[in-house]
Amino acid sequence: MKRRSFLASAGVGLAASTVVAAPALAQSQPEIKWRMASSYPKSLDTIFGGAELIARRVAAATDNKFQIRTFAAGEIVPALQVLDAVQNGTVECGQSAAYFYIGKDPTFCFDTAMPFGLNTRQHISWMMHGGGLELMRELFREHNIYNIPAGNTTAQMGGWFRKEIKTVEDLSGLKMRVGGLAGQIMGKLGLVPQQIGGGDIYPALERGTIDAAEFVGPYDDEKLGFHKVAKYYYSPGWWEGSAQIPLMINITAWEQLPESYKTILEQACWEANTWMIAKYDAVNAAALKRLVAGGAQLRAFPRDVMMACEKIANELYDELSAKNPRFKKVYEAWKPFRDEERLWFRVAENSFDSYIYSQSAQRR
pLDDT score of 18: 39
Domain containing residue 64: 32-151+242-282
296-312 pLDDT tens trace: 999 999 999 999 999 99
**145/147 Cα distance (integer angstroms):** 6
Q: Determine the distance from the C-alpha atom of residue 50 to the mean position of all C-alpha atoms in its chain, rounded to a whole number.
A: 10
Residue 175, in any domain of the structure: no
Burial (CB count <10 Å: 0-12, 13-18, 19+), residue 59: middle
Residue 254, in any domain of the structure: yes
pLDDT score of 363: 78
105-161 pLDDT tens trace: 999 999 999 999 999 999 999 999 999 999 999 999 999 999 999 999 999 999 999
Q: What is the dihedral of CA 140, 216, 150, 321, to 10 degrees?
A: -30
When the pLDDT of each residue in the chain is averaged and rounded to a whole number, the result is 93
Using alpha carbons, select from 296, 303, 292, 307 the residue that is nearest to residue 160. 296
pLDDT-based confidence at residue 26 (cuts at 50, 70, 90): low
7, pLDDT greater than 70: no
Residue 222, in any domain of the structure: no
For the chain, what percentages of helix, strand and coil (3-state, to nearest 5) are there?
60, 15, 30
Domain count, the chain: 1
Taking the model in full, what pTM does it have? 0.90
CB atoms inside a 10 Å sphere around CB 203: 12
Question: Was 214 annotated as part of a binding site?
Answer: yes
Who contacts 106 (Cβ-Cβ below 8 Å, separation ≥6)? 181, 320, 324, 327
12, pLDDT greater than 90: no
Amino acid at residue number 68: I
Residue 25, in any domain of the structure: no
**82/93 Cα distance (integer angstroms):** 9
164-179 pLDDT tens trace: 999 999 999 999 999 8
Residue 54, in any domain of the structure: yes
Question: Was 52 annotated as part of a binding site?
Answer: no
The proportion of the chain whose per-residue pLDDT surpasses 90, expressed as a percent, equals 89
CATH number at residue 43: 3.40.190.170
Question: Was 290 annotated as part of a binding site?
Answer: no
Residue 344, in any domain of the structure: no
Question: Was 156 annotated as part of a binding site?
Answer: yes
Averaged pLDDT, 66-75: 98
225-284 pLDDT tens trace: 999 999 999 999 999 999 999 999 999 999 999 999 999 999 999 999 999 999 999 999
Residue 194, in any domain of the structure: no
Question: Was 177 annotated as part of a binding site?
Answer: yes
Who contacts 170 (Cβ-Cβ below 8 Å, separation ≥6)? 163, 164
Burial (CB count <10 Å: 0-12, 13-18, 19+), residue 162: middle
Residue 98, in any domain of the structure: yes
